[in-house]
Amino acid sequence: MDKAVNHYSEALRINPGFALVYNDMGSALLRSRRIEETLFCFREATILESGNIEAHWNLKNVKAQKFNAGRELSKRFLCESPLINITAPSS
CATH number at residue 55: 1.25.40.10
Domain count, the chain: 1
- φ, ψ for residue 33 (rounded to 5)? 60, 30
Give the model's pLDDT for residue 67.
81
What is the reported pLDDT for 47? 97
Residue 85 lies in a domain: no
Per-residue pLDDT of the chain (91 residues; tens, 9 = 90+): 689 999 999 999 999 999 999 999 999 999 999 999 999 999 999 999 999 999 999 999 999 988 876 666 556 655 665 555 555 566 5
Nearest partner of 21 among 55, 60, 50, 61, judged by Cα: 55
89 falls within a domain: no
| Residue 73, in any domain of the structure | yes
88 assigned to some structural domain: no
3-state secondary structure of 35: helix
Domain that holds residue 30: 2-80
